[in-house]
Structure 1
Amino acid sequence: MSKLAIDGGKPVRSSPFPRRMAYGLEEAQQVIEALNSQDLFFATGKKVYRFLSEFKELYGVKHATASTSGTSAIHVALGALNLEPGDEVITTPISDMGTVAPILLQNCIPVFADVELGTCNLDPNDVERKITERTRAIIVVHCWGQPANMERFLEISKKYNLRLIEDCAQAHLARYKGRLAGTIGDMGAFSLQQSKHMTCGDGGITITNDEELGKRADLFVDKGCDWTEDRRYRLKYSFLAPCYRMTELQGAVLIAQIKKLRWVVERRQKLGDRLTELLKDVDGVHPPERAKDVDHRYWGYPLRIDREKGLSRDRFVEALSAEGIPAGTAWPGKPLYLYDMLRNHITYGTSGYPFTAKEGRMVEYHEGLCPNAERVEEEMCTIWINEFYSESDIDDISEAVHKVALHLPRR
């Protein structure tokens, strides 16, 4: 291979990679229908209800609640659980803040457990170590598109009588030993944000097979308001809740999107698996580990650059980018507990609530809390792929990674 592009050599790739074209005429036709109806309110429209019906059928669940974002979908799930102030919810430090903010918005305390180096998913053994008398729920994030060890999490939740929420924002139609992620725990939450496998720009879905949780989710998404009763003469508000209603425009886009979803996830899995096979023997580079009997839907492609082999992650990313590869550093940048909002308890004014609540306990976040998560965030190189890439595009990425790993100076 030739001299590195970052040092003046010829790059592996000089043409741009395919742009993801998520929307087409199908979405446009559905949106026009919604506009022509002159009714974009979900409760009196048809698009959101139709999408929810199709989503329930796809996932084989009894209840699905539409909302405005993946963050709101998590909040809806927590709201349905009816937790008390000061209750603790264990989750991962490698996720979007949208996994954690709803915990605080319900006046509960986020407790972080470490992750597995190979998958970036929550380590069930560390989760069990973090359980206290105040623990009420676990939010498992299926990181990058691969379901976590749900068999163990089911055992733990049953043993300690905890509720189990699956954050499936990055794992649409991903199966764990034959079961769809999102249907294994008590509730599943999905993001429909622009970068996700199925998208309407932003949106969320919360699913469950539990009758009571499903009813509370439907109430929680709309100010606690019960739409099953005749509201022409009076309103009924059951409990305090936000307003996260999805609009008919979002529902219209999603009716078209859901028809494409299976192709999207299967194509991404094929491409991601191909890249993993091509990179499996590169010294100092760790492709994502794929668990047996588990899908990987590759929201992105996480590549760990091993500092113990003398490689600098930042320099590796710079070199890959110079070779024309869409590479970046870690997502979300650092473990969530090291961001100021959590580390300094910047929540409701200057109160520090719910960390200062008499009902709970003061939880401190600091470096060293989750060593694997901190290492992952320091070593992770993110390569962005999408379903419109060709096998040749994947081969170019592989060639560039091999080239950089071979020629980049090591400490």
Structure 2
Amino acid sequence: MDKEKLAIYGGQPVRDHFLPYGKQVINEDDIHSVIKVLSSDFITTGPTLERFEREIAEYTGAKYAVAFSSGTAALHGACFAAGIGKGDEVITTPMTFAATSNCVLYQGGIPVFVDIDPKTYNINPSQIKEKITKKTKAIIPVHFTGQPAALEELLEIAKENNLIMIEDAAHALGAKYKNKKIGSIGDMTMFSFHPVKHITTGEGGMITTNNEDYYQKLIQFRSHGIVRAKHLLKENHGPWYYEMHSLGFNYRMTDIQASLGISQLKKLDSFIARRKQISRFYTHELASLKDLTLPYQDKNGDSSWHLYIIKLKSRNLNANRKFIFEALQKENIGVNVHYVPVYYHPYYESLGYKKGSCPVTESCYEEFITLPLHAGMSDQDAKDVVNAVKKVLNYFSKSRL
């Protein structure tokens, strides 16, 4: 970083300790729930996991829920259950973490990237139809930042073209689309319980579905493709007998993790309410900064506010985003950028994907900065973020370095 640009920050930063962009909120109830399981007969997949699955299904309004060791594992399971195989094309967005499309590759499928809506930053339904071919098997929309994608339009496209819809809702547990909880709308929906998400199990993920066939396939897939139910066995050698019906993986979640998830789920609505409160504060306090575009909220969706992203509008700010990013970090504000477009990664370049295919995504990537947002933030933390943003942008607009 050019030392001249940061010279002004030789003085006191707005805060004396670092504020991460995302962080888990763990209390004594959570700790006690884990200790209770550690003292029980089951610490791997057992009754606590089954309870966690039931409670997630009830919360989202889905018939079934299947827990996995991570959100990535869960999405891989959904691609398997959907029957995605070699040469099948799956339409998704490049404005996501690489896991979304990697799971298609795991199954031998081909990710097809469609650009995003410039307001919501979600996949643009109007551009999907031109990407559909005879090889298209599914659509994976991402509810980016917690704001639901345009599900009504997406479901219509899926139905017209006999496509399976797998929602990547890693950001959207607790979000609603037209007053209906995310998790009960598409064919399958994936949630993540990574520590920066709304609730955590350490690592972990979940697929919700209303389809019993998908449910059975997901159960098999997370445990080596093995079945034990008598009515599914091709032979039955006795009560010990089991069969491997497909090539599955060991993607199981433990009861230890599930116990934490159950405890966290009790606080989910309060966590989301706090995220919304902080987001409203940001919007109110930053609205006067004309060089910023603040998050747009679609009237059909109720965001769960996983991320709060500001967009640098002016050419001068865009050209110096790295400076602004590093200056904010020097103020002890843990900003981030979500996301590097998936096809920018060298591995995807090696598969033949090229820059320039999704210009809105690429433009947004060059302009985005993610501000800290999590339920454990205090009012002072939020004020520090706002003060730092104003300080850095004010300095930059005057200095024109």
Structure 1 and Structure 2 fold alike (TM over 0.5): yes
CA distances 1:13-48 after superposition (whole Å, capped 9, x unpaired) = 123366745222222222222222233231xx2110
Asked whether 1:271 is paired with 2:265, we answer no
Q: Please give the root-mean-square deviation of Cα atoms over the aligned residues, in Å.
A: 2.1
Q: Distance in 1 between matches of 2:39 and 2:62?
A: 31
Change in CA separation of 1:324 and 1:239 when aligned onto 2, cut-off 3 Å = closer
- Cα shift at 1:75: 0.8
In structure 2, the residue corresponding to 1:95 is in which secondary structure?
Answer: coil
Q: Distance in 2 between matches of 1:233 and 1:200?
A: 31
In structure 2, the residue corresponding to 1:302 is in which secondary structure?
Answer: strand
Q: Distance in 1 between matches of 2:332 and 2:223?
A: 46
TM-score with structure 1 setting the length: 0.88
Q: Which residue in the other structure is 2:338 paired with?
A: 331
Match of 1:24 among 22, 27, 32: 27
Check conservation: 1:11, 1:324, Cα contact below 8 A: no
Check conservation: 1:77, 1:187, Cα contact below 8 A: yes
Q: Which residue in the other structure is 2:329 paired with?
A: 321
CA distances 1:231-263 after superposition (whole Å, capped 9, x unpaired) = 733211222222211111111111211111111
Asked whether 1:140 is paired with 2:169, we answer no
Q: Which residue in the other structure is 2:361 paired with?
A: 373
Q: Distance in 1 between matches of 2:85 and 2:17?
A: 51
CA distances 1:337-376 after superposition (whole Å, capped 9, x unpaired) = 111111103xxxxxxxxxxxxxxxxxx3101011111111
Change in CA separation of 1:405 and 1:8 when aligned onto 2, cut-off 3 Å = closer
The one-letter code sitting in structure 2 at the alignment partner of 1:301 is: Y
Q: Distance in 1 between matches of 2:6 and 2:346?
A: 37
Q: Which residue in the other structure is 2:226 paired with?
A: 225
- Cα shift at 1:162: 0.8
The one-letter code sitting in structure 1 at the alignment partner of 2:215 is: G
The one-letter code sitting in structure 1 at the alignment partner of 2:321 is: R
Check conservation: 1:68, 1:203, Cα contact below 8 A: yes
Structure 2's unaligned 5+ residue stretches are: 231-235
Check conservation: 2:89, 2:109, Cα contact below 8 A: yes
Q: Which residue in the other structure is 1:343 paired with?
A: 349
In structure 1, the residue corresponding to 2:244 is in which secondary structure?
Answer: coil
The one-letter code sitting in structure 1 at the alignment partner of 2:83 is: N
Residues 11-410 of structure 1 correspond to what in structure 2 (within 5 A)?
11=12, 13-16=14-17, 20=23, 22-42=25-45, 45-229=46-230, 232-308=239-315, 310-311=317-318, 312-328=320-336, 330-332=337-339, 334-345=340-351, 364-408=352-396, 409-410=399-400
TM-score with structure 2 setting the length: 0.90
In structure 2, the residue corresponding to 1:141 is in which secondary structure?
Answer: coil
Q: Distance in 1 between matches of 2:297 and 2:167?
A: 19
Deviates more, 1:87-96 or 1:19-28: 19-28
Q: Distance in 2 between matches of 1:76 and 1:273?
A: 36
Check conservation: 1:208, 1:214, Cα contact below 8 A: yes
- Cα shift at 1:186: 0.7
Structure 1's unaligned 5+ residue stretches are: 346-363
Q: Distance in 1 between matches of 2:229 and 2:32?
A: 30
Deviates more, 1:123-132 or 1:229-238: 229-238
Check conservation: 1:191, 1:204, Cα contact below 8 A: yes
Q: Distance in 2 between matches of 1:73 and 1:213?
A: 12
In structure 2, the residue corresponding to 1:385 is in which secondary structure?
Answer: coil
Q: Distance in 2 between matches of 1:18 and 1:335?
A: 25
The one-letter code sitting in structure 1 at the alignment partner of 2:254 is: T
What's the % identity of the aligned pairs? 34
